[in-house]
Amino acid sequence: MDTQATQGPNERGRGTGRRALLGAAVLGAGAAALGSAGTARAAGAAGATGHGSVLKGLPVPAIIGHRGSSGYRPEHTFGSYQLALDLGADIVEAGDLVPTKDGHLVCRHEPEIGGTTNVADHPEFAARRTTKLLDGVSITGWFTEDFTLAELKTLRAIERIPANRPHNTLYNGRWEIPTFEEVLRWQDEQTRKRGKQVLIYPETKHPTYFRALGHDVEHLLATSLRRHGKDGKNAPVLIQSFEPTSIQRLNKLVGNPLVVLLSGTGTRPWDFVSTGDPRTVDDLITPKGLAELARYAQGIGPTLDLVIPKNADGTLAAPSALVADAHRAGLVLHPYTMRNENPFLPAEFRKGTAADAYGDAFGAFRTYFATGIDGVFTDNADTGLLARADFVNG
């Protein structure tokens, strides 16, 4: 994540079923500590659809572990995923999915891995460093599609933003790059160990870019899900993408809940750019645009700035109409990304100027929760859970 970026009668049954999965159908006894507000909202979602689901224990707002627990461990590692569960995340974003040279899906924030692995320390791969045009931007580094899975498995993950998270560098080199197949097996293992269903939220990364290189990310994803029996409407896997056409393709391949990610105002999804579609994110978040998205998706993942825009000084302005408009279209909202460190918070919630210092994250969470969002991606699931308890219990 953090990249760019009217229902017909024949679609209605499938769409509402998926929305029930995303909408936190019925809270279980374990969520009683959230108080009556959280229970009422979730139960209302169930009443609207009358459809139970594997997500019926999911509170609203849901706390989604962004790339695991990347506030505390290098992102997209089993160390990060595992800690997100230990901290209590409702869902783990296990998998920004990019392909290898030999057609395996692996979990990296981007196909360029110079900033998230120790590939630069491997002289045998020095010649693989190259410059490519990725979604119209020139990027220099090492790319997953130029490595076999066996080669990638010789690398180890490192912290992506050490200036903000110097403590995470302690774990540099500890974990390898996970494959999506390994994630699906890990999900089953954790579900058995914890006695409750673990939910994951993978993302198709740059599918248009990869399709031009001969890699069909959606097909690879659907094949893996089918192999593990996780391609249906009750499967514990939600799927997201910044490219609406990727979600449209997945809508025909799998029955899972689907979410369209939305970048900042004025931006265009790369699949729109590549096909000459003139629409921008601004068009997609109008009532008409949201109704169109609801034909093939059950939710949206907007940047937080689309929920509450910022003033010129970086402070929050008045909330937009997006939450109400999306809910009116039958879509849930899982915006991104809440982080505890000063540079990532609205200006009024920062404390001091240190790039690695925490600001008033609780205040920021409270402000975003008050808009009525259905969940939020966060690098700090523990902070999010405490903030949710404060918010729901008043």
DSSP, collapsed to helix, strand or coil, labels residue 196 as coil
- Which two tokens mark 211? 């399709």
Say yes or no to pLDDT of 16 above 60. no
Q: Position of tokens 């707002």?
A: 61
**Quick check: 133 and 143 in contact, CB under 8 A?**
no
Banded pLDDT at 357 (limits 50, 70, 90): very high
* Across 34-38, 121-125, 162-166, 327-331, least confident range: 34-38
Say yes or no to pLDDT of 53 above 90. no
Residue environment code for 23-39, b if the CB has 16+ CB neighbours within 10 A, otherwise e: bbbbbeeebeebeeebb
3-state secondary structure 63-127: EEECCCCCCCCCCCCHHHHHHHHHHCCCEECCCEEEECCCCCEEECCCCECCCCECHHHCHHHHH
Q: What is the pLDDT of residues 133-174, one digit of tens each?
A: 999 999 999 999 999 999 999 999 999 999 999 999 999 999
Question: What is the per-residue pLDDT for 192?
Answer: 98
R_g over Cα of the chain: 20
The structure's pTM equals 0.89
Question: What is the per-residue pLDDT for 58?
Answer: 73
Q: Cα(387)–Cα(362) distance, rounded to whole angstroms?
A: 6
Question: What is the per-residue pLDDT for 23?
Answer: 47
**Quick check: 244 and 293 in contact, CB under 8 A?**
yes
Q: Cα(116)–Cα(112) distance, rounded to whole angstroms?
A: 8
Q: 172, 80, 1: which is closest to 380 by C-alpha? A: 80
Q: Which residues pair with 140 in a beta bridge?
A: 131
**How far from each other are the two terminal CA atoms of the chain, in whole angstroms?**
31
What are the distances in angstroms from CA 77 to CA 28, 73, 123, 217, 379? Answer: 30, 8, 23, 20, 13
Read off the amino acid at residue 339.
R
